[in-house]
Amino acid sequence: MKTFRLNDMTKGWFVGDFDPAVLRTDAAEVAVKSYDAGSFEPRHMHKIAPEVTLIVSGRVRMNAQEYSDGDIILIEPGEATDFEALTDTTTVVVKLPSVAGDKYLC
């Protein structure tokens, strides 16, 4: 058995085809991400990988719609979104497959 720390991973990403990773695979990417209230990610899209975002705690705005604890958002390839943490927020993000560079600013 091996043990890892989320703080040692890059931006919360711990499964995927990158380093460091707890499980290195090109099949999927998984992250637990924490955001301070007011954090913002500019509008972007993925051309290959759909992305699933679970709001574990907090409140966010994506594409002018608010989401909160327990909401699960599916973003299909080619669909653009932005992200703003309205409160301190924790998310779990899953992308299938793991594709380096599959993030495009819009």
Read off the pLDDT of residues 70-105 as tens digits, 9 standing for 90 and up: 999 999 999 999 999 999 999 999 999 999 999 999
Q: What is the reported pLDDT for 36?
A: 98
Read off the pLDDT of residues 6-52 as tens digits, 9 standing for 90 and up: 999 999 999 999 999 999 999 999 999 999 999 999 999 999 999 99
Strands 13-16 and 23-24: parallel
Residues of 56-70 as b/e, b for ≥16 C-beta within 10 angstroms? eebbbebeeeebeee
CA distances from 106 to 6, 12, 18, 21, 48 (A): 29, 23, 24, 28, 15
Contact 106, 80 (CB under 8 A): yes
Q: What is the reported pLDDT for 39?
A: 98
Strands 81-85 and 23-24: unpaired
Q: What is the reported pLDDT for 83?
A: 98
Which CATH fold would you assign to the domain 28-105? Jelly Rolls (2.60.120)
Residues of 2-28 as b/e, b for ≥16 C-beta within 10 angstroms? eeeeeeebeebbbbbeeeebbeeeeee
Q: pTM (2 decimals)? A: 0.94
Q: Name the pLDDT band for 56 (thresholds 50, 70, 90).
A: very high
Average pLDDT over residues 52-80: 98
Q: What is the reported pLDDT for 40?
A: 97
Q: What is the reported pLDDT for 94?
A: 98
Domain extents in the chain: 28-105
Q: What is the reported pLDDT for 96?
A: 96
